[in-house]
Amino acid sequence: MAEGLAAAHAAGIVHRDFKSANVLLSGGRAVITDFRLAGLEMRAAAAGAAGKESASRDARLAGTVPYMSPEQLSGVAAGPASDIYSLGVVLFEMATGRLPFDDRHIIHSAMQRVAGGVPSARALVPDLD
């Protein structure tokens, strides 16, 4: 997953909606899927460069809340670091079987992330290496 994101970032592409549901296992490797939001951002940037109205403000706010980085939740443009944050959420989910933040209520989930503080995976899985 990290290598796939690194390749996308090297090509100037930020996924912007990286989550476990967008990773498929095929032939012993992980394949990242669903780059729709990345495409939306690229089209918005091209429209803005052409002097047309840009949809980038709305695009920055798009994504799947439980996996969004604090900057995405704050309305700041997503960059490669946002995808890496989302990768961390996916790895936490893989190790513990649950998301690190309360995803039952969007506002509460967002506030937990923006306020900082990372839940301990070891507290949920004591024998975690």
From CA 118, how far away is CA 21, in angstroms rounded? 22
Please report the DSSP string for 96-117 in residue order.
HSS-SS--SSHHHHHHHHHH--
From CA 78, how far away is CA 95, in angstroms rounded? 25
Catalytic residue IDs: 17
- CA nearest to 66, candidates 108, 120, 118: 108
